[in-house]
Amino acid sequence: MFDLGSFHILSYGTLLGSQIYQSFIGGIISFRTLSRPQFSTLQSAIFPVYFSLQTALPIVTALTFPGERTVLGVGPSSVNGVLAPKNRFTTLLPLATVFVTGITNLLVLGPKTVKVKDERMQQEIRDGKKSYDPPPHSKEMQALNKKFGRLHGYSTLVNLVSLLATMYYGTVLGQRLC
């Protein structure tokens, strides 16, 4: 028999696990271990996959939403269950938040950050100095560093909102299991 609940737990667990791993384990260890250029190359390869997961997994989680079991039977499941009035704030809102934050990083902030990173690399060639070398820097590099820092900060904030929404939904899911 096809059991939505199992797929729901697996998709939610994959979402939360990937967020925690990338944010607090893999990213930090990579930054501490690799040289700046190696770290940048690794993150450039990981982020599109990570942000794609953050975009796709809330959809999978919504599609596999199991109906609530009551004495009257089983309530609406899948998207109908997510859209049910009683689930709009506890299920739809956090899953939609994760989707929107994921797609924002995937399609907007990620590409803009990569563009500025590439511009900094070109400026490093012109300046003969790395963007992360001690000051002084050219005015152009200062502006690029500031822009990169701002975009990276926005992306990090959006990622944090996504993680908090995922954790909030986890508490809702946990209450349903009790």
| 77 touches 66 (CB < 8 A) | yes
User: Does the structure show a pLDDT above 90 at 84?
Assistant: yes
pLDDT band per the 50, 70, 90 thresholds, residue 74: confident
Q: Look up the pTM and report it.
A: 0.93
Ranking 34-38, 71-75, 157-161 by mean pLDDT, the lowest is: 71-75
Run of H or E including 71: none
Smallest CA-to-CA distance from 109 within 157, 145, 146 is with 157
CB atoms within 10 A of CB 72: 6
24-59 tens-digit pLDDT: 999 999 999 999 999 999 999 999 999 999 999 999
Run of H or E including 128: none
User: Does the structure show a pLDDT above 70 at 1?
Assistant: no
Peptide bond into 66 cis (omega under 30): no
**Domain boundaries of the chain, sorted by first residue:** 4-177
106-135 tens-digit pLDDT: 999 999 999 999 999 999 999 999 999 999
> Six-digit token pair at 95?
């899953």
